Amino acid sequence: MTRIRVLFAALAVALCVPAAGIGSGNGLPTTIGKGEGQLNLVAWEGYTQKQWVAPFTKATGCKVNKKYAGSSDEMVTLMRSGGGSQYDMVSASGDASLRLIYGKDVQPVNVNLIPDWKSFAPQLRSPAHNTIGGQHYGVSLQWGPNTLLYNTTKVKPAPTSWAAIYDAKYKGKVTVPDNPIQIADAALYLSKSKPSLGITDPYELNQKQFDAAVSLLKKQRPLIKKYWALASDEIDLFKNGDAVIGATWPYQTNTLVAAKVPVKDLIPKEGATGWADTWMLSAHAKHPNCAYLWLKWVSTPKVQAQQAIYFGETPANPKACPIMNKLSPGSAAQYHCGASAAYFNSIKFWKTPVADCGNGQKDCMDYTKWQQAWTQLKG
């Protein structure tokens, strides 16, 4: 709940990453051996809670040692520390996963050794942020959309478009994440409001498209009350009346509703960006068997439900939905568990921008440019 999703520059060329530890002739394990006794994780705070870690250790003998990271940038740094062998796994978001793959910091995994993977929502079995050329570099875990949040008593009529957060009538009352990925949010809005720009993917922007998105954010800058880094920052802004509209996650909305703050959220007509996390295995993992046992464990419906409720997010495994409702009535609907294909298709999940535009051209702005533009915008 306190994660800060900070992005950084991605390397431009994807390379095949050799597997470490257990393996078969093609570099992937075909079975899971006996656990090595411990497992060293880099994780978002809230991803290694006692209620599902303790039973895992009891069942497998793998003692979990965790290191919480406060940003995606920190996760990448930690996974490269000690020659890349200090930590076995990382719960990488889509903004970090491609960096880890392209940097050869993580290895491919055999999803056939994870029985519950087949039950995952189709969109999260082989998403672009953790699967390259049909090769899986991890197993999806949880996800969430970036929605439009508004105070129902202050924002009328109810908004239907992202245009509302660029509207001068809310000057000084707008809040959005302190995150360069907001460039993608602006690009997504422009893809619908200015189709002549030809934006088809908000993470693949040529110079003209990129400049248009940055220009829109510059115009928005005087409207911003605060760029929020923590979920609690945004919650406080809405509670205090300092903000009446902004970009959010479902966790903030549900927390505010529970506190009886008059708010609602929605995915506007243009769609939304979103985040999805992946457990990834270090290319130099010292405890690969425990790592695979962990992948199996955290993919099961019960553990997925426990984590979703604790953290305030949506499980990759829809079989967790009824368990969520048993643990916390109504929680599955709150977090869109078992979302329809149409709902998924309205979300453009984070991926690290690279120069390769995916259409044979190499003129897209890579993440170095995104970070520079965001720093200049805020400065």
Per-position DSSP letters for 233-273, written without gaps between them: HHHHHHHTTS-SEEEE-HHHHHHHHHTT--EEEE--TT-EE
Residue 310, judged by CB atoms within 10 A of its CB (0-12, 13-18, 19+), counts as middle
pLDDT score of 11: 36
Supply the pLDDT for residue 56.
98
350 within 8 A of 331, measured Cβ to Cβ? no
**The residue to which tokens 């991890």 are assigned:** 138
Question: Residue 111 is encoded by which pair of tokens?
Answer: 């999803």
HEC letters along 207-243: HHHHHHHHHHHHHHHHHEEEEECCHHHHHHHHHCCCC
Residue pair 92/72 in contact by the 8 Å Cβ criterion:
yes
Which positions ≥6 away from 338 have C-beta within 8 Å? Answer: 121, 318, 321, 332
Distance between CA atoms of residues 375 and 379, nearest Å? 6
Q: Does the N-terminal peptide bond of residue 157 adopt cis geometry, omega within 30 degrees of 0?
A: yes
What pLDDT does residue 230 have? 82
Mean pLDDT by 10 residues, the chain (379 residues): 40 33 60 97 93 98 94 91 93 90 95 98 93 95 95 97 98 94 96 97 96 98 94 94 95 91 96 95 97 98 96 94 96 90 88 84 91 93
Here the tokens at position 151 are 């105070």
E strands within the chain?
38-43, 63-68, 89-93, 106-107, 131-132, 135-136, 139-145, 147-151, 174-177, 224-228, 245-248, 263-266, 272-282, 314-315, 347-349
- pLDDT value, residue 343: 86
CB contact at 8 A, 161 and 268 = yes
Residue 352: the pLDDT is 84
